[in-house]
Structure 1
Amino acid sequence: MENFIVSARKYRPSAFSTVVGQESITTTLKNAIKNNHLAHAYLFCGPRGVGKTSCARIFAKTINCSNISADFEACNECESCKAFNENRSYNIHELDAASNNSVDDIRTLIDQVRIPPQIGSYSIYIIDEVHMLSASAFNAFLKTLEEPPAHAIFVLATTEKHKILPTILSRCQIFDFNRIKVDDAVKHLQNIAQKESVTIDEEALNVIAQKADGAMRDALSIFDQIVSFSGKDISFANVIQNLNVLDYDYYFKIVDASLEGKVTDVLVMLNEIFEKGFDGHHFVGGLSAHIRDVLVGKDQATIQLMEVSDSVKQKYVDQAKRCSVDFLYEALKILNQCDIGYKSSQNPRLLIELSLIQLSQIIESKKKGASLKKTSKKLLKIIVEGREAAPAQSRVAQNSSKQAVKSSNTAAKPVTTQAKQVVSSGRSNGHMGTVSIKQALQKGFQKPKVDTQSKYQNKKGTEAEVIAETVEFDQAHVFKKLKDFIQVKGKSDRVRLALTVNKPQVVDHKVILQVSNPLQGDDINGVKIELQNFLRRVFNKSEIEVETKLSKAKTTKRVFTDTDRFNYLCKQNPVLGLLKQKFSLDFE
């Protein structure tokens, strides 16, 4: 029976041209060989399974080849190449730093470096997982790494460059290996499947490449696993079953059901997913990635960012046409919150179900919000236009009454009565000519008549009534509106004293509030934004800014709360503090 060799070893790259996804690095190394610009130390770093050690071996084999080809690849025919291929070369030395990480191991290596090569021009020392060396071993290696013999070249490989001492990094040429792209991995897997006479779908290969997460060695290991499970004929269903990967059709169906507001269908599909044994957190992450791909599919320029096959990519583009950008943004926000709170949730399944219900209600919520916003704009327009129409109506009524008096003394009484009726009609809607929203809705949004000459009552009912009164932006009106703000917003006595202790100063578009002490400044700062927005709406000036200024004038001590009063009395009579402490008294 023939011994089985895993694909990761059987199809390991043996030339620069067979290295997958690292074209920039292989080109640089070949140019260095071509121009004879070989450094004495190299550092290959990057994720697992991307070809670091393979590139080091190919590089070592090529620089010792006596018959380098025109494209600067090893010939595989000379004695050096044959010795390397048969694992009997004495010019290439590999050291595993994970198990040889002491100072004594490095000293042995230093003694070995002095021996010149028997075949070829260079002795190459490949040290894998070099970050595992101890600090003492690194320090012992420094001098040799900086000034090795002319025939010695060091190639260090690591997955964790940040653990290597900066003094080591400064002595090496550093090459950063990239993760293998999904497209490159799929092409390489297709080539291997063809050589192994395996029939497999492109979508299945795409799933394998995504599962490998950029590591070619992992992709080949998964490929061998799938072949053992399914044989020579592999389908997409076989791959997702063996790898326990959720079919992306579920994601498409969930998004379509959410767009139509079908909460029941979404919950039923979620139950099917759980019954198949999939992890809830994995599902949330997969749905988030799916919606991200749908968002990417909205623009022709970003479609290339999707790492899926062409047939699946078209499905994303079709679904993107049915989804609005606002829906996708809101869905990503909801799923991100679910992802964050999943581990701390006492009932993770309920959390996912609530998130999916929110997804299904996004469209309906947008419609209700738009309708409510439209109605609010109409009502606000009625209020504003009603206030503007009132002065004109009042002036018309006054002019008509004056003309009637001049024309005939005998007709003065009825004309005056008529003028009074016209003027008084503006008062019929309430205090200050305010508009009743209920009446406006019943009468079909008719503009009410308003009397601006009526007295504004001391008690303010709502903020809309305060805003309805058109006033000038000066000190007197600002001080009056500060009082209105306190009453309408229901602020505490401390805020009332802080705002009204001194009259405000109005400079350009700034309202400067003078306070007697820093505590009053803190009270005002607590409501500053709310007060600023209130004044902007009242005076219809978006540039109004509120500032506080500490008054330099000496003021008498003001008592604010029960605690302040008690502290004040304690200063006069310290026995009160002892009495409170002894009997554990407190304020009611």
Structure 2
Amino acid sequence: MTALALARKWRPKTFTELLGQDHVVKALTHALDQGRLHHAWLFTGTRGVGKTTIARIMAKALNCTGADGKGQMTSKPCGKCQACTEIDAGRFVDYIEMDAASNRGVDEMVALLEKAAYAPSSARYKVYMIDEVHMLTSHAFNSMLKTLEEPPEHVKFILATTDPQKIPVTVLSRCLQFNLKQMPVPVIVEHLQAVLQSESVSTEVNALRVIAKAAQGSMRDALSLTDQAIAYAAGPVTEAAVRTMLGTIDDTYLIKILDALQAKDGKTLNDIAEEMGLGSMSFSLALQDLASLLHKIATAQLVPNSVLDDWPEA
């Protein structure tokens, strides 16, 4: 049997498992507990921060019937009833995910809205999740305005996008908007440690820090890179193996570059560049890391107590 990718295996299934989005979880759980539900939600944020995951948890929360089949709408879906298990398995007929990047025209939207008028097959609510909604054409957006403003009582819309600036104001005004934050490095590292411990994979904490930084706030990317690192290392996941895999440079290189720049030593800079080239290191990532280090130095000069734990040693 093929092993699941870590990003799929460790996808949160409840609000309590969702990391780094406390502000969104708090608002949604309160709304569910109090029965004060909007008809349309818009989740924005960069890739891999939980937009689709939250949509699926919301669909379960809206339609959960409890293990005994008699439960009500809840902020803590049971994960055992037909609705919960089928949504997790991706086969619940009343939860429909549509990729707007490949279904962006007015014809596709009209077809969706026509189906929305019909009552759910078995669920409490029919939930439509439209991913990358900013890719819809202007005509498609216009066709959904009326339904989005006054949908049937049995329908809920969940929209998700990485580019909310491209969504018309007329659509934004009809939705409750939540911006999902990028994951902080410490949160990613802590989660990766828990995942690898459960997977019985040995690792170095510094290796996970490198992965977390490379993920740029995306937990999904962090888990995908961890999968790649496990395969690459073929054993304990070490910092050296991860840096080689990603083409990133050690912080000591950054210090050497800054020292050479300060000394106006062109020969040393050239030698460092040649060494980086021989090691197949990424020059673009090196420039990003150098800019980040210079930012930290400038910040430390103005606010000395702001120096972080991951400050490189000279």
Fold in common (TM above 0.5): yes
Q: 1:198 to 1:143 in 2, by over 3 A?
A: same
- In 2: Cα distance, 1:199 partner to 1:69 partner: 43
Q: What are the ranges of 5 or more consecutive residues in structure 2 without an aligned counterpart?
A: none
Aligned to 2:75: 72
Aligned to 1:238: 241
- In 1: Cα distance, 2:188 partner to 2:240 partner: 20
Correspondence 1:120 to 2:123: yes
Which of residues 122, 130, 135 in structure 2 aligns to 1:132? 135
By relative contact order (CA 8 Å, sep 6+), the higher-ranking structure is 2
- In 2: Cα distance, 1:96 partner to 1:211 partner: 27
Correspondence 1:251 to 2:254: yes
Deviation at 1:65, TM superposition (A): 1.1
- TM-score, with normalisation over the residues of structure 1? 0.49
- In 1: Cα distance, 2:292 partner to 2:108 partner: 47
Correspondence 1:159 to 2:158: no
Q: Which AA in structure 2 matches 1:228?
A: A
Q: How many residues align?
A: 308
Deviation at 1:141, TM superposition (A): 0.9
Q: 1:84 to 1:262 in 2, by over 3 A?
A: closer
Aligned to 1:301: 305
Correspondence 1:35 to 2:34: yes
Aligned to 1:184: 187
Q: Which of the pair has more CA radius of gyration?
A: 1
- In 2: Cα distance, 1:258 partner to 1:159 partner: 38
- After TM superposition, list the pairs within 5 Å mapping 1:140-539 onto structure 2: 140-256=143-259, 261=263, 263=265, 265=268, 267-278=270-281, 280=283, 282-298=285-301, 299-303=303-307, 306=308, 310=309, 312-313=310-311, 315-316=312-313
Deviation at 1:174, TM superposition (A): 0.7
- In 2: Cα distance, 1:147 partner to 1:193 partner: 47
Paired residues of 1:145 and 1:171 also in contact (CA < 8 A)? yes
Q: 1:90 to 1:15 in 2, by over 3 A?
A: same
Q: 1:150 to 1:9 in 2, by over 3 A?
A: same
CA shift digits 1:162-197 (9 cap, x unpaired) = 111111111111111111111111111111111111
Q: Which AA in structure 2 matches 1:87?
A: G
Deviation at 1:255, TM superposition (A): 3.8
Paired residues of 2:129 and 2:158 also in contact (CA < 8 A)? yes
Aligned to 2:50: 51
Q: Which AA in structure 1 matches 2:210?
A: V
Correspondence 1:97 to 2:96: no
Q: RMSD over aligned Cα, in angstroms?
A: 2.3
Q: Helix, strand or coil: the match of 2:305?
A: coil
Paired residues of 1:69 and 1:75 also in contact (CA < 8 A)? no
* Structure 1 moving runs of 4+ over 4 Å: 68-71, 256-259, 264-267, 279-282
Paired residues of 2:125 and 2:156 also in contact (CA < 8 A)? yes
Q: Helix, strand or coil: the match of 1:234?
A: coil
Q: 1:117 to 1:201 in 2, by over 3 A?
A: same
Paired residues of 1:92 and 1:124 also in contact (CA < 8 A)? yes
Deviation at 1:80, TM superposition (A): 2.2
Q: 1:23 to 1:71 in 2, by over 3 A?
A: farther
- In 2: Cα distance, 1:273 partner to 1:84 partner: 48
- In 2: Cα distance, 1:71 partner to 1:83 partner: 17
- In 2: Cα distance, 1:69 partner to 1:22 partner: 25
Q: 1:57 to 1:70 in 2, by over 3 A?
A: closer
Paired residues of 2:248 and 2:285 also in contact (CA < 8 A)? no
Paired residues of 1:197 and 1:232 also in contact (CA < 8 A)? no
- In 1: Cα distance, 2:73 partner to 2:57 partner: 16
Q: 1:19 to 1:69 in 2, by over 3 A?
A: farther
Paired residues of 2:62 and 2:73 also in contact (CA < 8 A)? no
Q: Helix, strand or coil: the match of 1:200?
A: coil
**Aligned residues with identical type, % of pairs:** 37
- In 2: Cα distance, 1:228 partner to 1:124 partner: 38
Deviation at 1:69, TM superposition (A): 9.8
Aligned to 1:463: none
CA shift digits 1:143-175 (9 cap, x unpaired) = 111111111110011111111111111111111
Paired residues of 2:106 and 2:140 also in contact (CA < 8 A)? yes
CA shift digits 1:232-284 (9 cap, x unpaired) = 3111110111111111111223445666x483655543442243344555444
Q: Helix, strand or coil: the match of 2:93?
A: coil
Aligned to 1:19: 18
Q: 1:190 to 1:154 in 2, by over 3 A?
A: same
- In 2: Cα distance, 1:232 partner to 1:70 partner: 45
CA shift digits 1:211-236 (9 cap, x unpaired) = 11111111111111111111231111
Deviation at 1:43, TM superposition (A): 0.7
Aligned to 1:81: 84
- In 1: Cα distance, 2:72 partner to 2:16 partner: 12
- In 2: Cα distance, 1:179 partner to 1:148 partner: 32
CA shift digits 1:409-462 (9 cap, x unpaired) = xxxxxxxxxxxxxxxxxxxxxxxxxxxxxxxxxxxxxxxxxxxxxxxxxxxxxx
Aligned to 1:62: 61
Paired residues of 2:33 and 2:74 also in contact (CA < 8 A)? no
- In 1: Cα distance, 2:260 partner to 2:114 partner: 71
Q: Helix, strand or coil: the match of 1:301?
A: helix
Q: What are the ranges of 5 or more consecutive residues in structure 1 without an aligned counterpart?
A: 320-588
Paired residues of 1:66 and 1:120 also in contact (CA < 8 A)? no
Q: Which AA in structure 2 matches 1:205?
A: L
- In 2: Cα distance, 1:153 partner to 1:70 partner: 14
Paired residues of 2:189 and 2:212 also in contact (CA < 8 A)? yes
Higher helix share: 1
Paired residues of 2:43 and 2:161 also in contact (CA < 8 A)? yes
Deviation at 1:292, TM superposition (A): 2.3
Deviation at 1:133, TM superposition (A): 1.3
Q: Which AA in structure 1 matches 2:293?
A: H
- In 2: Cα distance, 1:190 partner to 1:95 partner: 34
- In 1: Cα distance, 2:160 partner to 2:287 partner: 36
- In 1: Cα distance, 2:72 partner to 2:25 partner: 15
